A = this chain, B = another copy of it.
Amino acid sequence: MIKFNEAELRENYQGTLALRPGIEAAVDKFYEEGFDSIWIFGTGGTWATGVQAEYYMRGKCSIPVYVEQAGEFNVTGNKRLTDNALVLFTTVTGTTGELITAMETIRKTKAKVIGFVDEPGTPLTKLCDVCFSWPHNSQIKFWMVLDRIQYLHGDFPDYDKFYAQLDAHLAQGLCDIEKQADEFAHEWAKKKVEWMKENKDMPHYFIGAGPAWGNTYSTAMCYWEEMLWIRTKSISAPEFFHGTLEIIEKDTPVTLYLTEDEQRPLEERVARFLPRVCERYTIIDTKDYKLEGIDEEYRGRISHLITRCVNNRIEAHLEVETRHPMEIRRYYRQFPY
């Protein structure tokens, strides 16, 4: 399998989960001191992770969660922010300009900040009360914070059982999903790239709902547009029916995510609609992927990790089939703007 080192991947997941005692210590302390709201800051993919996190909390916990695109915060501010806020952010490079500016503002308040900065020693590591540095898996990191808050708030009594299962099985389970998805992804990427020869301008449509929406948005924008230079449009499943449906035709390429959270019915509605008008659609259904050792009832909390594994395989093969190295950027950070 290309671009897949199972041992390394498993170890990376396991190392992420191993951050949990440190996260619990920080969250427990801040919860004890009291906070009135949770603020997640990001840009692009990390903002999308925040959006996803807000959806995740919405139906589960009464503590307000606000998501701030850092660039927007820097010009608009937010009058709802108080000194009693708990602030979270995640960044790979630790150097994102908008986020540095936003955190400099935040540090002038009494708000508490938990930062996840993949790259140790970078500017953003210095702009938090507690900083964790371990590469990748920003979603698992955020979820550990949010699940702990749910637990402390009385909204997740199963917390210990859930994380015992993740600690024991998630890392291998996610590796196995990539292996299970690889052949499908390879065939799919070959067909897609062949078809794109005659259809290079046609955007690929991505549809997902709620806790899967952040993933859907960032797959379209951060992976396909930014790293593969393929046109896309992402739209949430319930919003799809209020406009975008009208430009789906027989030959329009669509990927729909079916997940196992409470918004699945919204995604299923799209799944019923698509075959009536389109034949070039793909459904990625997390139910098709086993996660050994993790109870059925918990899968909705982590379906977005399953879709990311499948997407990883598709992108690995698209990278080869398009002969487009995912590292290269045409404009981003290439010249000042």
Stretch from A70-78, A112-120, A308-316 that touches the partner: A70-78
Number of interface residues of A (CB under 8 A): 67
In the complex, the answer to whether B203 meets A231 with C-beta atoms within 8 Å is yes
| Shortest distance from the beta carbon of A114 to any chain B beta carbon, whole Å | 21
Given contacts A61-B79, A98-B238, A332-B241, whether A246 and B233 have CB atoms under 8 Å apart is no
Any B CB within 8 A of the CB of A330:
yes
In the complex, the answer to whether A58 meets B71 with C-beta atoms within 8 Å is no
Any B CB within 8 A of the CB of A123:
no
Of the candidates B218, B242, B335, which one forms a contact with A45 in the assembled complex, judged by CB atoms under 8 Å apart? Answer: B242
Roughly how many angstroms separate A233 CA and B232 CA in the complex, as a whole number?
8
Roughly how many angstroms separate A61 CA and B80 CA in the complex, as a whole number?
7
A248: which B residues are within 8 A, CB to CB? 331
In the complex, the answer to whether B269 meets A242 with C-beta atoms within 8 Å is no
Chain B residue nearest to A62 in the complex (CB): B79
Roughly how many angstroms separate A58 CA and B226 CA in the complex, as a whole number?
29
Roughly how many angstroms separate A75 CA and B329 CA in the complex, as a whole number?
39
Given contacts A59-B76, A60-B79, A238-B71, whether A203 and B233 have CB atoms under 8 Å apart is yes
Any B CB within 8 A of the CB of A188:
no
Chain B residue nearest to A55 in the complex (CB): B76
In the complex, the answer to whether B262 meets A44 with C-beta atoms within 8 Å is no
Roughly how many angstroms separate A262 CA and B231 CA in the complex, as a whole number?
30
Any B CB within 8 A of the CB of A266:
yes
A238: which B residues are within 8 A, CB to CB? 43, 69-72, 98
Of the candidates B43, B98, B239, B277, which one forms a contact with A331 in the assembled complex, judged by CB atoms under 8 Å apart? Answer: B277
Give per-residue flags for A155-197: 1 if the beta carbon is below 8 A from chain B beta carbons, else 0: 1000000000000000000000000000000000000000000
In the complex, the answer to whether B330 meets A43 with C-beta atoms within 8 Å is no
In the complex, the answer to whether B266 meets A71 with C-beta atoms within 8 Å is yes
Chain A interface (Cβ within 8 Å of chain B)?
A: 43-45, 47, 55, 58-64, 69-72, 75-80, 98, 155, 199, 201-203, 209-210, 218, 221-222, 225-226, 229-233, 235-236, 238-239, 241-248, 262-263, 265-266, 269, 272-273, 276-277, 329-332, 335, 337
24 residue pairs from A and B, CB less than 8 Å apart: A43-B238, A43-B242, A44-B239, A44-B243, A55-B76, A58-B77, A72-B209, A72-B236, A79-B155, A98-B238, A201-B202, A201-B203, A203-B203, A203-B233, A221-B243, A221-B244, A222-B243, A225-B246, A226-B243, A226-B246, A230-B247, A241-B332, A246-B331, A273-B331
| Top 4 A-B pairs, shortest CB-CB distance | A44-B242, A71-B238, A221-B243, A226-B243
